[in-house]
Amino acid sequence: MKNKQSFSEKLLLLFADFLDVFRQPVTLYSFNRWLEKDPRYRPFRIWLEKYFKKRKKQNFYSTIYQLKRSGNLKIKITKDGKGYILTPKGERKILKIKIKNLKKKLDPQKYWLMVIFDIPEKRRKDRDLFRSLLYNLGFQKIQQSVWVSPYDVYKELKEVIKRLGINRYIKILKVKELGEI
């Protein structure tokens, strides 16, 4: 079953892509120009145009306001004017959305990924988020801080660890088989 993304999730992903490419706050003008010029984002431009035909443009601005109000975006004032940037909460939400939409494949060499972690209590939010992302990556819990997965998600796992800044608390192993006692 395919996960249906909300409009706010799609818009947040587009903002994140823009910020990754341009490394500057998103103004609605620069955002529109980018969608028009970059051929890779043509489907998104068409999707937005259809959205505007069905609903009023005000809904678009309301969604941006809601993203700002919920703490995912914030306004940054630059010499070029006001623009939007992602907050740490917004970056975590982007990470969750990307992991949720990931198409997982079994490891072709039939290895299991094993993750062992000991994230301190003072970083409880990161630890809880990490467990949630492990679950969405297809990991199964063996113990509270030992998880395994048959999927080939090593690259995505490394990205999660890097984004959360928890690499010093984690060990990743590739295991050929899991034994039972």
- Residue 50, phi then psi, degrees to nearest 5: -65, -40
Q: In this structure, what DSSP letter does residue 5 have?
A: P
Write down the pLDDT at residue 108: 86
Rounded to whole angstroms, the Cα distance separating 12 from 165 reads 22
CB contact burial 94-103 (16+ within 10 A = b; e otherwise): bbbbbbeeee
Write down the pLDDT at residue 140: 93
Write down the pLDDT at residue 98: 87
Write down the pLDDT at residue 12: 85
CB contact burial 57-93 (16+ within 10 A = b; e otherwise): eeebeebbeebeeeebbeeeeeeeeebbbbbeebbbb
Write down the pLDDT at residue 11: 81
Write down the pLDDT at residue 135: 93
Is the model's pLDDT at 60 over the cut of 60? yes
For 141-148, what is the mean pLDDT? 92
Amino acid (one-letter) located at 10: K
Read off the pLDDT band of 2 (50, 70, 90). Answer: low
Given the structure tokens 């939007």, which residue do they identify? 84
HEC letters along 35-58 = HHHCHHHHHHHHHHHHHHHHCCHH
Domains and CATH numbers, the chain: 7-97 (1.10.10.10), 103-175 (3.30.70.240)
For 126-140, what is the mean pLDDT? 92
Rounded to whole angstroms, the Cα distance separating 152 from 65 reads 38
Write down the pLDDT at residue 3: 59
pLDDT, mean over the chain: 84
Is the model's pLDDT at 174 over the cut of 70? yes
At 63-110, the pLDDT tens digits run 888 888 999 988 888 776 788 888 889 988 888 888 888 888 988 888
Pair of tokens at residue 86: 């992602």
Write down the pLDDT at residue 1: 43
Rounded to whole angstroms, the Cα distance separating 42 from 35 reads 7
Q: How many residues does the chain have?
A: 181
Write down the pLDDT at residue 29: 73
Write down the pLDDT at residue 6: 80
Write down the pLDDT at residue 44: 74
Read off the pLDDT band of 173 (50, 70, 90). Answer: very high
